[in-house]
């Protein structure tokens, strides 16, 4: 697979491109794990009233403010906004949530179609040099999860715009790939699902072999662990960040649903069975820990993809979606045991998940330089 390496210099986005046929991995870059040190967390301020109709949009903005408040003490928060008016709205919401927008909060004029930055934004890679750590961005194609929600051109342009703003090299790929569809341990092992990565709506002719080759060339993935599918209500065709996540180099948390009558029981049980028989890139068996699912959550008679696995790991903190259920406490307890030394904070996400995503879906980490 050929990846184009483009360097955007300065606000005008002047580009110099060279061909790197083997991709970033051959140039020494690797995809760091989410728990490695961050320079910042990126968000796109929510504004799409079709995603969150009625008064839900206002409530979701307060959820974003809660996310920013929880992150502010740990790392810089960078928020994409379309214009001055959107920035002013964001500042009002942040102030109402007790967030000082002048302390560790940055606003950038990067218009978006929606707020799901995990999927449309860049994936950062790093390479170690003597005395320095170099960073670059991977720019995959984004088509709103198989063309489901037009328009998506502004979302698809975000990696290019962020590369220009950060003055970082950008590797451009023709592959359609969303950040929530892959989860890595920083050492060459990645979790993926067949239902999403092999779906023909992301491009016909996709096979395990072609996807594994692309992940190797672009992200340095030496071992792709294929799970089956995702959860009911997930419009992404089964993103892995709702079903299984690495919490360290060898430990995976896997969502389970014990109720056999629930439509999530069978696919999650299949994923758990697969994980228990898998080994990482070093040949070691995975340590698998189960994570409960919240009770069924619906809106307008449609099931929502609520999952505790959609957490986000930042510097010294883990943000975990909660849904006002008894299972919230059990999920938080599991993650606190697995993440010693990290502040595990529950963020109420009932309004956020109405838009069919949660905390991991709206965040993207920028690794430390």
Catalytic residues: 361
Which DSSP symbol is given to 181?
A: G
From the number of C-beta atoms within 10 Å of its C-beta (0-12, 13-18, 19+), residue 316 rates as middle
Cite the DSSP H helix spans in 97-139: 117-120
Query: How many other CB atoms are there within 10 angstroms of residue 260's CB atom?
Result: 8
Peptide bond into 268 cis (omega under 30): no
DSSP 257-312: ---TTSTTHHHHHHHHHHHHT-B-TTSPBPEEEEEEPPPP-EETTEE----TT--E
Cβ pair 311, 246 in contact under 8 A: no
Name residue 191's beta-bridge partners.
Answer: 183, 225
- Which backbone phi and psi does 7 adopt, to 5 degrees? -110, 120
**CA nearest to 156, candidates 142, 174, 137:** 142
Sequence-separated (6 or more) residues with CB below 8 Å from residue 280:
185, 187, 189, 223, 225, 249, 250, 286
């Amino acid at each position: 697979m050929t990846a184009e390496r483009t360097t955007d210099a300065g606000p005008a986005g002047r580009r110099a491109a060279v061909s790197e046929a083997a991709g970033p991995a051959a140039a020494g870059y690797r995809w760091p794990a989410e728990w490695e040190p961050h320079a910042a967390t990126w968000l796109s301020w929510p504004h799409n009233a079709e995603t969150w109709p009625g008064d839900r949009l206002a409530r979701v903005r307060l959820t974003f403010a809660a996310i920013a408040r929880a992150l502010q003490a740990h790392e810089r928060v960078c928020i994409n906004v379309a214009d001055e008016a959107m920035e002013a709205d964001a500042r009002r919401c942040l102030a109402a949530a007790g967030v000082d927008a002048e302390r560790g909060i940055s606003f950038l004029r990067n218009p978006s179609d929606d707020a799901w930055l995990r999927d449309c934004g860049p994936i950062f890679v790093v390479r170690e040099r003597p005395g320095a750590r170099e960073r670059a961005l991977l720019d995959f194609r984004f088509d709103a999860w198989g063309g489901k929600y037009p328009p998506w051109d502004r979302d698809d342009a975000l990696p290019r715009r962020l590369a220009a703003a950060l003055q970082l090299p950008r590797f451009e790929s023709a592959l359609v790939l969303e950040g929530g569809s892959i989860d890595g341990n920083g050492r060459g092992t990645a979790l993926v699902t067949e239902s999403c990565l092999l779906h023909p709506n992301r491009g016909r002719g996709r096979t395990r072999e072609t996807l594994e080759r692309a992940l190797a060339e672009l992200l340095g993935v030496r071992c792709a662990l294929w799970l089956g599918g995702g959860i009911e209500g997930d419009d992404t065709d089964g993103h892995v960040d709702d079903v299984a996540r690495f919490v360290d180099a060898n430990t995976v948390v896997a969502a389970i649903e014990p109720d056999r009558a629930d439509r999530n029981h069978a696919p999650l049980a299949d994923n758990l069975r697969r994980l228990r028989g898998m080994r990482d890139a070093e040949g070691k068996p995975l340590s698998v820990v189960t994570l409960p699912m919240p009770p069924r959550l619906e809106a307008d008679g449609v099931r929502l993809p609520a999952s505790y696995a959609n957490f986000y790991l930042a510097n010294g903190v883990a943000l975990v979606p909660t849904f006002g259920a008894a299972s919230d406490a059990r999920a938080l307890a599991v993650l606190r045991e697995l993440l010693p030394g990290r502040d595990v904070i529950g963020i109420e996400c009932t309004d956020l998940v109405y838009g069919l995503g949660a905390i991991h879906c709206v965040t993207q980490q920028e690794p430390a330089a």
